[in-house]
Amino acid sequence: MPVIAVIDYEMGNLHSVCKGLENAGATPIITHSHKELTQADAVILPGVGAFDPAVQNLRSRDLEQPIKDIIASGKPFLGICLGLQILFESSAEGNQPGLGIIKGKVKRFVSQPGITIPHMGWNQLELTQPKSILWEHLPPQPWVYFVHSYYVDPTEPQVRAATVTHGTQTVTAAIAQENLMAVQFHPEKSSNIGLQILSNFVSQVREKIAA
Residues known to be catalytic? 81, 186, 188
CA distance 50 to 147: 12
Q: Strand 160-166 relative to strand 169-177: parallel, antiparallel, unpaired? A: antiparallel
Enumerate the β-bridge partners of residue 207: none
Q: Please give the biggest Cα pair distance in the chain.
A: 52
Q: Residue 10 to residues 31, 48, 52: CA-CA distances in angstroms? A: 11, 9, 13
Number of other residues whose CB lies within 10 A of the CB of residue 73: 10
Distance CA 172, CA 64 (A): 24
Q: Which helix (H) or strand (E) segment is 36 a member of? A: helix 34-39
CA 159 to chain centroid: 13
Dihedral sign from CA coordinates of 114, 129, 18, 60: negative
